[in-house]
């Protein structure tokens, strides 16, 4: 942990902040059928809680940065953790499904603060040459958590109860609150001064008019809009699988919660491999080349899935194996798109970052809400819902990115891509 430029305890505390929202999403997925049975909710209806979680997560992304600038990062983070802990208890004790969904929405609003605050803390506390190791550590946590937690969550659901997951989340939230109080300085003051960086936060544009002006300026930037569109479509592909695969693989195809967790991990492994591949390609290739190649991989695998589910309709692997390959492309696109967004270096860089992640999270929630697959979807329906955004992603990357392929040096893209590969599946991957 010495390479991060931070004390060990502070580094672990920051990593725990990005661990919480990933755990709350990924560990919950294997429990969907059990939660539906517990509340007497029909197959597929529990996906609404996933959509609600992601919608609230998106709102949290765009609010947290502005709140931290106005009231202080540490205060906002403690408030978020308190909300997450209370919401976890609400889910644990929920007497009905409606109350449970409210708890999930509040969980996202509380947990999502860590996604923004952890990066804000690193940016404002460490000098530029010391940031990359800590950002890499955060990226590792974000990548590993969705891969490791579903099998463990599946075992817990199969041998205890889904409520045990939320009991653990409540305890975890309380522990991290104590860690933040003890380990994180109050809003970067002393640490920032020691690092030679500005001690105080930068105020956001004043009022709604200021925010509107900032967002109009950011959206007028071509790099921002194209890469934001690409990551949004990539996230739709991933989140659609996350939303509907649990009911399909468990209720229709007979996978146990433990087996589903293992299959989900296989899919996430594709994401991790894609992200790693993108970083290596970034040393010699432009972001445009990586994005077009990754989009082609994602589209090809998604279209292949529409065929395999017809050839082997009762096999879980007919869905999972093509999805793992699709996630290879999605995983490569996430850091690539983040690096492309960071080409915008205007006065509204903070607003650009918040808007970028808001658009990504909101797109997944909106797309799954619009598709509205009734009940427990069959394999063909899910494959089509995944293939549609994957095809749109390929067309966007081919036609909107071709003209920029030689305008930015590959070495510069590589450096930015590695530093920016810190957004979860998401998340989200």
Domains and CATH numbers, the chain: 1-204 (1.20.1250.20), 208-429 (1.20.1250.20)
Segment of 203-212, 271-280, 370-379, 410-419 carrying the highest mean pLDDT: 271-280
Return the sign of the alpha-carbon dihedral for residues 312, 314, 317, 323.
Answer: positive
Judge whether 72 and 117 are in contact, CB under 8 Å.
Answer: no
Burial degree of 220 (CB within 10 A; 0-12, 13-18, 19+): exposed
Helix (H, G, I), strand (E, B) or coil at 1: coil
* Cβ contact 336:416 at 8 Å: no
pLDDT tens digit string along 226-255? 999 999 999 999 989 988 888 888 888 888
pLDDT digits over 144-183, tens only? Answer: 787 778 888 888 888 899 999 999 999 999 999 999 998 8
Of the ranges 92-106, 128-142, 188-202, 205-219, which is most confident? 92-106
* Angle between the N-to-C axes of helices 349-371 and 317-341, in degrees from 0 to 180, rounded to the nearest 10: 160
Task: Name all contacts of 182-190 with Cβ < 8 Å and 24+ positions apart.
Answer: 182/9, 183/7, 183/9, 183/10, 183/13, 184/10, 184/13, 184/74, 184/77, 184/121, 185/74, 186/72, 186/74, 187/72, 187/73, 187/74, 187/75, 188/73, 188/121, 188/124, 188/125
Beta-carbon contacts of residue 296 (< 8 Å; ≥ 6 apart): 329, 394
pTM > 0.85: yes or no: no
Strands (E), 203-251: none
Cα 191 from chain centre:
28
What are residue 425's DSSP bridge partners? Answer: 428
pLDDT top residue among 118 and 85? 85
What band does 72 get if pLDDT is binned at 50, 70 and 90? confident
Express as a percent the part of the chain with pLDDT over 90. 31
pLDDT band at 305 (very low <50, low <70, confident <90, very high): very high
- Reported confidence tier of residue 408, pLDDT bands at 50, 70, 90: very low
For the chain, the residue count is 429
Average pLDDT of span 301-306: 97
- Give the whole-angstrom CA distance, residue 173 versus residue 181: 12
Q: What is the reported pLDDT for 411?
A: 43
- Position with higher pLDDT, 78 vs 271: 78
Q: Is the dihedral of CA 124, 126, 130, 135 positive or negative?
A: negative
In this prediction, residue 369 carries a pLDDT of: 78
pLDDT for 309: 95
DSSP state of 184: S
Token digits of residue 71: 């009231």
Least confident of 331-340, 345-354, 396-405, 406-415: 406-415
What pLDDT was estimated at residue 136?
60
């Amino acid at each position: 942990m010495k390479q991060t430029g931070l004390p060990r305890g502070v580094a672990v505390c920051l990593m725990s902040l990005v661990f919480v929202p990933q755990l709350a999403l990924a560990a919950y997925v294997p429990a969907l059928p059990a939660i539906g049975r517990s509340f007497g909710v029909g197959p597929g209806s529990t996906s609404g809680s996933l959509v609600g979680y992601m919608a609230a997560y998106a709102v949290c992304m765009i609010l947290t940065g502005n709140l931290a600038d106005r009231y202080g990062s540490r205060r906002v983070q403690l408030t978020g953790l308190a909300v997450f802990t209370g919401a976890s208890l609400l889910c644990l004790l929920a007497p009905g499904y409606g109350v449970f969904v409210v708890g999930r929405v509040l969980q996202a609003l509380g947990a999502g603060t860590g996604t923004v605050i952890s990066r804000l803390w690193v940016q404002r506390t460490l000098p530029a040459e010391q940031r990359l190791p800590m950002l890499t550590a955060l990226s590792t946590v974000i990548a590993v958590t969705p891969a490791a937690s579903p099998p463990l969550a599946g075992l817990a659901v199969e041998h205890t109860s889904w409520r045990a997951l939320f009991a653990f989340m409540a305890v975890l939230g309380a522990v991290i609150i104590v860690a933040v109080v003890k380990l994180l300085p109050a809003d970067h003051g002393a640490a920032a001064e020691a690092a030679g960086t500005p001690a105080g936060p930068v105020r956001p544009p004043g009022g709604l008019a200021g925010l509107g002006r900032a967002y109009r300026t950011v959206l007028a930037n071509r790099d921002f809009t194209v890469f934001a569109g690409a990551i949004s479509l990539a996230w739709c592909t991933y989140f659609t699988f996350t939303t509907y695969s649990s009911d399909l693989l468990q209720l229709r195809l007979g996978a146990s919660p433990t087996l589903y967790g293992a299959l989900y991990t296989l899919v996430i492994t594709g994401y991790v491999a894609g992200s790693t591949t993108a970083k290596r390609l970034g040393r010699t290739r432009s972001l445009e080349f990586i994005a077009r190649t990754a989009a082609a991989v994602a589209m090809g695998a998604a279209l292949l899935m529409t065929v395999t589910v017809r050839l082997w309709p009762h096999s879980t692997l007919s869905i999972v194996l093509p999805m793992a390959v699709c996630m290879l492309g999605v995983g490569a696109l996430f850091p690539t798109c983040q690096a492309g967004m960071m080409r915008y270096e205007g006065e509204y860089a903070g607003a650009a970052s918040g808007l970028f992640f808001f658009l990504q999270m909101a797109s997944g929630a909106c797309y799954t809400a619009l598709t509205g697959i009734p009940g427990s979807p069959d394999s063909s329906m899910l494959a089509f819902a995944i293939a549609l955004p994957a095809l749109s992603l390929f067309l966007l990357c081919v036609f909107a990115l071709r003209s920029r392929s030689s305008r930015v040096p590959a070495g510069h893209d590589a450096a930015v891509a590695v530093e920016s590969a810190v957004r979860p599946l998401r998340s989200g991957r």
